[in-house]
Structure 1
Amino acid sequence: MKAAQDIILTPVITERSVDDMAESKYTFKVAKDANKVEIAKAAEELFQVQVLKVNTVNCTGHTKRMGRSVGKRPDFKKAVITINPEPTPDKDGKKRKGTIEFFDGMF
């Protein structure tokens, strides 16, 4: 199994993803070969939250032109992770968080 840092790559910051944060939904770019179970375990390990649901989208890269040359941006996979907003204790006795701290200071 891959490390959690290799599965969840970068956060996606758009108007829609910022609006979804009020509903405890966070959007990330993830590894193209990762499945929903691996993404959920990686999010729980990295951010100490309880994941309720994971939705994934395979996105195709945009075609870009510069003069006569045509190129294509790389394809990527995006995951919308829904977390439990109430902090709950884990089975190990550790306290789970209700938000992802990375996004708290941004907005």
Structure 2
Amino acid sequence: MANIQYYDVILKPVVTEKTMELMADKKYTFLVHTEATKTQVKEAVEKMFPGTKVANVNTMNLDGKKKRARGSMTFGKTAKTKKAIVQLTAESAEIEIFQGL
């Protein structure tokens, strides 16, 4: 496994209608590095966002979608991704990047 630093674990937040509803329960969704473990995701969230305390982390591996070039017979796939849903504790601070949404 690659040596992943905490600032390389979280790639970007996932903002959809479903993830916005989960934020009411203090659940936040992020795209993470494909080789990151649950403990690495937990450490990264707690270090990147001060005042947060993670209760648990759920991860899921997503396969790439099949793609075809327009007008030709070449086929391919997009890259595989990994998504993490982070549950914060009740006394934990909110994550600031989601406040203006």
Would you call these one fold, judging by a TM-score over 0.5? yes
Please state if 1:57 is matched with 2:60: yes
CA drift at 1:45? 0.2
Aligned match of 1:45: 47
Preserved CA contact (<8 Å) 1:61 1:74: yes
Aligned match of 2:12: 10
CA drift at 1:69? 2.6
Preserved CA contact (<8 Å) 1:85 1:99: no
SS of 2:58's equivalent? Answer: strand
Count of aligned positions:
96
Aligned match of 1:94: none
For the residues of structure 2 that align with 1:83 and 1:77, how far apart are their CA atoms? 19
Of 15, 20, 23, which aligns to 1:21?
23
Segment drifting more, 58-67 vs 19-28: 58-67
Q: Which runs of 4+ in 1 moved over 4 A?
A: none
Aligned match of 1:102: 97
Residue by residue over 1:38-71, the C-alpha shift from the partner in whole angstroms, topping out at 9 and shown as x without a partner, is 1100100001200001000000111122233322
Aligned match of 1:79: 84
For the residues of structure 2 that align with 1:24 and 1:42, how far apart are their CA atoms? 17
For the residues of structure 2 that align with 1:104 and 1:85, how far apart are their CA atoms? 17
Q: TM-score, normalised by structure 1?
A: 0.83
CA drift at 1:86? 2.1
SS of 2:41's equivalent? Answer: helix
RMSD: 1.3
For the residues of structure 2 that align with 1:69 and 1:85, how far apart are their CA atoms? 50
SS of 2:24's equivalent? Answer: helix
Q: Comparing both chains, which one has the higher relative contact order based on Cα–Cα distances under 8 Å and sequence gaps of 6 or more?
A: 2
Identity of aligned residues (%): 40
Q: Which runs of 5+ in 2 are unaligned?
A: none
Q: TM-score, normalised by structure 2?
A: 0.87
